[in-house]
Amino acid sequence: MAGGSWSAVVPGVDEASGEVARGVAGRLGASLCSVHFKRFPDGEEYVRVEGCSLRGSDAVVVQTMAKPQSSSLVTAMILADAVRGLGAERVALVAPYMAYARQDRVFLEGEPVSVRAALKALYAAGYDVLVTVEIHKEESLRFFPGRSYNVYPYIELAKAGGVECPGDVIVAPDLGALRRAEKLASSLGCRYGHLVKERDRVTGEVRLKGARVDASGARVFIIDDIVSTGGTIALASRALLDAGARSVSVLVAHYLGLPGAGEKLRSSGVSRVYAANTLPRSRDDIVEYVDVSGLIAEVLREA
């Protein structure tokens, strides 16, 4: 069935989901439901969807996979069940940040493909359509049996960051992110390159092993999907400044920003981080947020 008929938007239970839900509902001209949320004394979650009519509708649930990620995943699942129970016929999940996406293959024997388990569970819970922002590896969406869309936020982030081409250089912190850098740089007309990062699969420790980019004298924008501990970007920033970069800023889809991340970035010389509003806002004042609800609404109109 062709899209464009989303008439109701159900906000998830954290502030980032609420913000994106309001933005999407406004742009689609859809009504915004409300959700009553509580936890039972044993910690289990309870939701009740109110304030809108869903019978026979095409409805959108916006629930990002904020920390604690496993709990957000369950929230998204029970919201689907509630929305189906109220008679919605077609249900889309907007998960601005899709958790478990980095475990997208078996690195060590005995591990799961966690993103496959999560996407199958969301489909089984009742979602026909999935819209997410930068899912680490777009190929992972094949594990969702319904229609799925991956929103690419970097052009908006680059605009917010004032990227100027051909002078500025876009740098991927590792080979895995090179496609991202190449795509953004080609659409803007910038130079690009990547660093060589090695991660110890058992301890998680990362090391830089080299650079395939000339950043000397240039303003550098590091592009990555996630800042979590800030370790990857901090290493990259130091290496680029040591190699003569004039300044280092960051374009990142998801700022998870674990405690200490902002300070780590600042002390490694990062000037500013431009992040999409896919997760609850961090107090780290190095981060500037960019609203991506317009991009999400555009995708939903086609879905």
Q: Which residues are catalytic?
A: 197
Indicate the residue among 80 and 213 with the shorter CB distance to ligand R5P.
213
CB of 167 to ligand R5P, least distance (A): 25
**257-296 positions binding ligand R5P, by CB under 6 A:** none
Indicate the residue among 179 and 301 with the shorter CB distance to ligand R5P.
179
CB atoms within 10 A of CB 255: 28
Asked if 225 and 249 touch (Cβ cutoff 8 Å), the reply is: no
**70-129 positions binding ligand R5P, by CB under 6 A:** 102
Asked if 143 and 164 touch (Cβ cutoff 8 Å), the reply is: no
CB of 55 to ligand R5P, least distance (A): 42
**142-171 positions binding ligand R5P, by CB under 6 A:** none
**What's the rounded Cα separation, in Å, for the pair 70 and 66?**
9
CB of 219 to ligand R5P, least distance (A): 21
Indicate the residue among 173 and 262 with the shorter CB distance to ligand R5P.
173
Residue 184, CA atoms < 13 Å, CB-side half-sphere: 30
**190-249 positions binding ligand R5P, by CB under 6 A:** 224-232
**Burial of 287 from C-beta contacts in 10 A (0-12 / 13-18 / 19+):** buried
CB of 32 to ligand R5P, least distance (A): 33
Asked if 245 and 273 touch (Cβ cutoff 8 Å), the reply is: no
Count of chain residues binding ligand R5P (CB under 6 A): 13
CB of 206 to ligand R5P, least distance (A): 6
135 near ligand R5P, rule: CB under 6 A: no
Indicate the residue among 25 and 276 with the shorter CB distance to ligand R5P.
276
Indicate the residue among 227 and 290 with the shorter CB distance to ligand R5P.
227
Q: Which positions lie near ligand R5P, rule CB under 6 A? A: 102, 173, 176-177, 224-232
